[in-house]
Amino acid sequence: MINPSPQTINTPDWVKHAVFYQIFPDRFARAAPPEDSNVQRSGKRANYQNHAIARAILQEWGTEPTYEGYMGGNLWGVIDQLDYLQELGITAIYFTPVFQSACNHRYHTHDYYQIAPLLGGNEALQQLLAAAHQRDIKVVLDGVFNHASRGFFFFNDILENGPNSPWLDWFTIEKWPLSAYDGSLPANYLSWVNNRALPKFNHQNPAVREYIMQVAEYWLGQGIDGWRLDVPDCIEVEGFWQEFRDRVKAVNPDAYIVGEIWEDASQWLDGTQFDGVMNYPFAEATIAFVAGERVLLEEVKKTAYKPYPAIDASEYADRLKELLKLHPWPIQLTQLNLFDSHDVPRLFTVAGGEIANKKRKSNHKTAAKTTVELATLLLLTFPGAPSIYYGDEVGLPGAHDPDNRRAFPDASEWDKQVLQYHKELIALRHAHPALRIGEYEVLFAKDMAYVFARSLPGQPEETAIVAVNAGNEAISIQVRAELEHKPSQIVYGKGQANWLGNQTTSAINFDLSARSGLILAD
């Protein structure tokens, strides 16, 4: 049994019960401002609809995504889709960057105090926050605080004024002249992974640190519910993230701080820095188990995570047990669990689904859908906050960047079966506290059969059992389950589950078809 640690670490309770939805704003939805917006009141509706920035430059919605092109998704469009997200069961949104920038992904920040005009500007965010909070949906923004861009005012001043700029010590200038655009010449300043488009802040400078802290505080004051931190491991100044946490929690003690750390994040998850990280190790293990040899290595080997080689249930159990031992229990419950994002190929494609009519047999699309269902079942029943990348819930495929940033499809293109099981699993997570905050106990792990229980101490009736057969053949297994309460209703999936024995020493027989899973609860 994996038991909670002593409650000495405070993490936001709402995250422990949340289901996140990650939105890449340029590709999710677009709409005109509402009638009561400042844009409308100032008579700029026609300008918004016809101005070159809003029309002529935009790619047609749904066309092949490119590194540079804009499809024009905006925050007004997200507001229009909040009812859809609420019906899906989403209770929190994580946005990739929304600040003013000269790229569609907006990780090249120009102005940390201005929402990108193409997204609707500051007014659109304010209306989004109001509309989301009215529906009890939290909003987390992406904080790119390791580096800025060539268009960021302080760095741009250095490009314009050279050694005479008053902001030289905001960055690390190695020598002159600087070459911000000509790749044939040395840049002569520090940048993130030597990308001259992303000059790295000098975090040793107290003015830089104070600027970043004030940005974080400002937007919390405007009503956001937390920060996702881009490449926070690249900021190595001692005490930086401890101060960040102190400043953020002083504004809002319930604000969520989640870091983009791809591997073991123990040094950041000691209770003094982040509440959680993007849990790629969970993704690696789960995809390696449920997708196995189906994983498209040519896609995943381009990324920083490794959902390969294939593993069986025993190794999967070992990896999850080790993962759950890494961090204190309050941290485990606020990890951000995911399978894909704007940085990695979508799970449907990783599992071979989209190439059904290109490189593999036609039945691979169906097989990929089954893989995604098994993975989603494990995602929605694991400790921590599950995160769904926009479009995954309707079967949107996507290879490596930029293909994984496709436009959200029209309803006529949705896979309704995929949408339905997402709704069912999310609803079950909301309905059963054990699936959110219950202890996690592996009951059986052999070959490709994996069974575990989630239960709340002191509330034995709050117990759920999840059984998965990731193999290609039907199985019948007997599982020892010494639980205070024996859930008997199959609330999700198909198969049979029959209890044997008495109240104190029990076993349960599972009959599961190939590539299937179920949940027992009451």
Cα distances from 223 to residues 17, 141, 207, 289, in angstroms, run: 20, 11, 25, 40
- From 149-153, 234-238, 457-461, the region with the lowest mean pLDDT: 457-461
Q: With residue 439 as reference, give the H or E element that holds it.
A: strand 439-446
Active site (annotated) includes residue 68: no
- CATH number of the domain encompassing residue 168: 3.90.400.10
Specify if 3 maps to a domain. Answer: no
Residue 188 pLDDT greater than 70, yes or no:
yes
d(CA 99, CA 224): 14
Beta strands in 116-259 (DSSP E): 138-143, 226-229, 256-259
Based on the fold, state whether residues 177 and 276 are members of the same structural domain: no
In a domain, 181, yes or no: yes
Are both 446 and 304 inside the same structural domain?
no
Are 222 and 295 part of one and the same domain? yes
Could you tell me which residues come within 8 angstroms of residue 240 by beta carbon, excluding any fewer than 6 positions away?
A: 203, 209
Question: Residues 174, 278: one domain?
Answer: no
> What CATH number should be reported for the domain holding residue 459?
2.60.40.1180
- Same domain, residue pair 290 and 181: no
Question: What is the spatial distance between Cα 428 and Cα 62, in angstroms, rounded to a whole number?
Answer: 32
Q: Which helix (H) or strand (E) holds 445?
A: strand 439-446
Instruction: Give the domain extent around 234.
Output: 13-146+201-431
Q: Are residues 446 and 408 in the same domain?
A: no
Residues 169 and 96 reside in one and the same domain? no
Q: At what angle do helices 240-251 and 206-221 cross, to 10 degrees?
A: 30
Catalytic member of 26, 260, 299, 392: 260
Residue among 26, 142, 225, 230 flagged as catalytic? 230
Q: What is the pTM of this model?
A: 0.94
Instruction: Tell whether 507 and 381 lie within a shared domain.
Output: no
Residues 67 and 129 both lie in one domain: yes
The answer to whether position 8 is within a domain reads no
Q: pLDDT confidence of 2, banded at 50, 70, 90?
A: very low
pLDDT score recorded for residue 45? 47
> Is residue 187 domain-resident?
yes
**Final residue of a domain: which of 388, 403, 431?**
431
What confidence tens digit (pLDDT) does each residue in 368-395 have? 899 999 999 999 999 999 999 999 999 9
Asked if residue 91 is part of any domain, the answer here is: yes
Residues in the chain: 522
Binned at pLDDT 50, 70 and 90, residue 4 comes out as very low
Domain total for the chain? 3
Same domain, 328 and 181: no
- Co-location of 140 and 156 in the same domain: no
Q: Are strands 99-101 and 92-95 parallel, antiparallel or unpaired?
A: unpaired
Task: Determine the average pLDDT of the residues in 9-33.
Answer: 97
Question: Shortest CA distance to 407 belongs to which of 119, 22, 27, 24?
Answer: 27
Same domain, 236 and 102: yes
Q: Is 439 a catalytic residue?
A: no
